[in-house]
Structure 1
Amino acid sequence: MLRLGKPQELFSSVFSICKNLTSTLVTKLDTMTETNEASQDSSQAEKRPLENESNGEAKKQKTENETVPFVRIKRRNFAMMLGYLGKDYYGMQRNPKIDTIEEQLIKAMYKANLITSEAVEVIQNINFQRAARTDKGVSAVRQVVSLKLPENPSKDSINEHLPKNIKVFSIKRVTKGFNCKSKCNARTYSYTLPTYAFAPENLELFNKTHESMEERIAERMEALSLIDGKPFHEYRLPKDKQEQVSVLLQKFKGTKNFHNYTTKILPLDPRARRYIMNLEAEKPVIVNDMEFMTLKIKGQSFMMHQIRKMVSMVIAVMRNIATEEDFNQSFNTPKYIISRAPSLGLMLNVVHYDYYNERYGKDGLHERLDWADCEEEIQDFEKNYILKDVIDTEINEKSMLSWLAQLSTSDYGLWDESKAENKEEKEEGPLDD
């Protein structure tokens, strides 16, 4: 049986035992800590490379593993107004593997860091829209596109990457739902041509039959080179003929059925009905000893080749190839043949936003889309690039004269099913601008 001593002795014994245990535990912990530190020092000593190598490796590892943070660029709706000489391009609209105005514009915006590579591939990602299509070779003085761009885009940064025959004149903020095509209430096209195109035709020669088209064209080119005994470029359109051109143009005014002024449109097709607001023949001007006249046509919308066929019909009546009765019947007849005038001289002149300007142009938040602030720059581009090319090409290549020489009795009049198929019916392309 355990014998208990006095309380003082018992307490002293317990205290002595605890002290010895504490001392032993501390000693063991110190020993373990020293062992671990030595082990770590040894490991680091084995793995530690040279100082330069360590820094280079650290930088390399950081570069490989570093993730570039995603930055969302805030984009706004803009209307961009540009002009271009269409001579060297296959129209406005973008087409794969074909050089077009849109293709050049998209590449320039990408190089200016205004759009991403994804937008280049799928341009609809930035709500890209054109106000009007222009065909191959057709120019534009004031074309408009709408799209989303970063805030405060610079037109100069785009022009740096564009060829000289394409130029952005202005970029303006527009409303959130703005679409340059649907918000456009009218378009004005102009057609510049030499006035000798309106000179009366030699109908005896025109109706003459030839063994081949080559023979006919050669004989007509020789005959057309002289008008009233003078070189064709010296012809000046008399004032009464100028007035006649103006009167004929007015026949297009109003809402009419233009199915014969395009391709692949039937007489009862609703798309054939178009509203023409205004037409005018400007006063002729003489450039390099040749007289030119500009015709301007303002309409709500136009179909493919419509302007060129309208100009062709006026020329045909002026030259006595077609009659005014033919002109009138062209809006009613199920099928009437009308040749197309050359594309040289045709240009999109103005895209009108009258309704938009009336509603938003005075709210203090949005600018008017009338481009008055850059009108001088626009006129300079039109004169030195577009009109200069039209005039120089006409003088050097005789485009209008060559087209007149190719005309025949089968180029105007009622459609005859027994004749060879109409080459224009084979053409593919958009029917509307």
Structure 2
Amino acid sequence: MKYQKDARTVEGCLLDAMYKLAIINEEQRKQPYLFYFQRAARTDRAVSAVRQVCSMRLNFDEKLPVEGPSALNTLLPSDIRVMGIRRATRTFHAQKSCDSRTYSYTLPTYAFAKFDKLTTNSYRIEEQTLAEINELLEIFKGTHNFYNYTSRREADDKSCFRYIMGFKCDKIRLHKDEFSGQETEFLTILITGQSFMLHQIRKMIGMVISITRGFLYKSDVQRSFDAVRMDIPRAPGLGLLLEKLHYANYDRKFKNTHETLDDWGEEIEAKVTKMREEIILQEIFREESRTQS
């Protein structure tokens, strides 16, 4: 999610809708920094967001949190929804106030097939392979130098040290292609960290795939954190989803004066889950079946 003057983006669509409802003026629409507009995380091309949080300073209107979401949604494309609006503190910053971020990566399980096995729709992952993947994911947890997992950074760049709080295999599901009728097995991997660099998650997934398939060694994960340049393959952007932004510290500090930003309630969460399952994931399944990226 980021604004680009001559391209259709989620942020651009949102600003256009806000302008049409007179929530912001023309100058603010063109220069969002004028009303301190910030998003919690950026999503690159082919990467989707299940949940995104934006902060901004607006003239207070008690009707906006109640009527704003439905009014905005009537002007937004069907694949972009405003789920809720809440008043935050004056100092709240969507990105800087965020404690951590959870992403998921969904891909066909045949991506983990050994190099001497066929990578076809009929492949079904075994428990032993899942255990091997989870062992590899555990190595990434903690604080490490991830300069090999991004671009144009050196080993002595302190900003390359990132803290990974969780990394594990999640759901396995079958998707039936509507044209071929073939069923493909997909695996979702969840990762939570304080923050991530460009390409970091996709390269972490690429490393795990390479080791599981037998092209690299398990020891190469630890070696990739050392000051030795490694060429790590990057997984496609298609399966990467921004799942959730975490604001536990903010909620703890302002729980007596402001609504929580970590928990938006059962009704909103049900809508988010429905959109994730019926629109975003289905698009990933369809596109993966079509391109086999």
Normalised to the residue count of structure 1, the TM-score between the two structures is 0.63
Q: CA deviation at 1:129?
A: 0.4
Partner Cα separation in structure 1 for residue 89 and residue 174 of structure 2 = 44
Query: Hey, what does 2:170 align to over in structure 1?
Result: 282
SS at match of 1:191: strand
Partner Cα separation in structure 2 for residue 143 and residue 243 of structure 1 = 32
Partner Cα separation in structure 2 for residue 381 and residue 283 of structure 1 = 17
Within a 5 Å distance, the mapping from 1:325-340 to structure 2 comes to: 325-340=219-234
SS at match of 1:240: helix
Partner Cα separation in structure 2 for residue 200 and residue 306 of structure 1 = 24
Which one is further off, 282-291 or 177-186? 282-291
Q: CA deviation at 1:396?
A: 2.0
SS at match of 1:266: coil
Partner Cα separation in structure 2 for residue 283 and residue 375 of structure 1 = 19
Query: Hey, what does 1:72 align to over in structure 2?
Result: none
Q: CA deviation at 1:102?
A: 0.9
Task: Establish whether residue 352 from structure 1 lines up as the match of residue 246 from structure 2.
Answer: yes
How much identity, in percent, do the aligned residues show? Answer: 40
The one-letter code matched in structure 2 to 1:273 is F
Task: Establish whether residue 170 from structure 1 lines up as the match of residue 84 from structure 2.
Answer: yes
1:5-34 deviation per Cα after TM superposition (whole angstroms, max 9, x unaligned): xxxxxxxxxxxxxxxxxxxxxxxxxxxxxx
Aligned with 2:42 (options 133, 138, 141): 133
Partner Cα separation in structure 1 for residue 236 and residue 208 of structure 2 = 14
Task: Establish whether residue 197 from structure 1 lines up as the match of residue 111 from structure 2.
Answer: yes
Select the structure with the greater relative contact order (CA < 8 A; seq sep ≥ 6).
Answer: 2
1:22-57 deviation per Cα after TM superposition (whole angstroms, max 9, x unaligned): xxxxxxxxxxxxxxxxxxxxxxxxxxxxxxxxxxxx
Partner Cα separation in structure 1 for residue 21 and residue 106 of structure 2 = 35
1:243-296 deviation per Cα after TM superposition (whole angstroms, max 9, x unaligned): 111111011100000000000110010110000011110141112111111000
Query: Hey, what does 1:366 align to over in structure 2?
Result: 258
1:203-239 deviation per Cα after TM superposition (whole angstroms, max 9, x unaligned): xxxxxxxxxxxxxxxxxxxxx8x45xxxx11111000
Decide which structure has the larger Cα Rg and report it.
1
Partner Cα separation in structure 2 for residue 285 and residue 170 of structure 1 = 30
Q: CA deviation at 1:148?
A: 2.0
Q: CA deviation at 1:349?
A: 0.4
SS at match of 1:236: coil
Query: Hey, what does 1:146 align to over in structure 2?
Result: 55
The one-letter code matched in structure 1 to 2:289 is I
Q: CA deviation at 1:372?
A: 2.5
Structure 1 unmatched ranges of 5 or more: 1-91, 203-223, 400-433
Aligned with 1:389 (options 272, 278, 283): 283
The one-letter code matched in structure 2 to 1:128 is F
Normalised to the residue count of structure 2, the TM-score between the two structures is 0.93
Partner Cα separation in structure 2 for residue 97 and residue 141 of structure 1 = 24
Task: Establish whether residue 243 from structure 1 lines up as the match of residue 152 from structure 2.
Answer: no
1:130-184 deviation per Cα after TM superposition (whole angstroms, max 9, x unaligned): 1011111110011111012341311111111111111111111101111111100
Q: Over the residues paired in the alignment, what is the CA RMSD in angstroms?
A: 1.2
Within a 5 Å distance, the mapping from 1:34-433 to structure 2 comes to: 92-150=1-59, 151=61, 152-153=63-64, 154-202=68-116, 226-227=118-119, 232-288=120-176, 289-361=183-255, 363=256, 365-369=257-261, 370-373=263-266, 374-399=268-293
Check conservation: 1:261, 1:309, Cα contact below 8 A: yes
Partner Cα separation in structure 1 for residue 56 and residue 92 of structure 2 = 9
SS at match of 1:137: coil
Q: CA deviation at 1:105?
A: 0.9
Q: CA deviation at 1:395?
A: 1.3
Partner Cα separation in structure 2 for residue 269 and residue 316 of structure 1 = 26
SS at match of 1:338: coil
Q: CA deviation at 1:108?
A: 0.9
The one-letter code matched in structure 1 to 2:89 is T
Q: CA deviation at 1:96?
A: 2.2
Q: Which runs of 4+ in 1 moved over 4 A?
A: none
Q: CA deviation at 1:359?
A: 1.2
Check conservation: 1:141, 1:378, Cα contact below 8 A: yes
Check conservation: 1:127, 1:147, Cα contact below 8 A: yes
The one-letter code matched in structure 2 to 1:108 is A
Query: Hey, what does 2:179 align to over in structure 1?
Result: none
The one-letter code matched in structure 2 to 1:320 is G
Check conservation: 1:112, 1:161, Cα contact below 8 A: no
Which one is further off, 95-104 or 245-254? 95-104
Q: CA deviation at 1:334?
A: 2.4
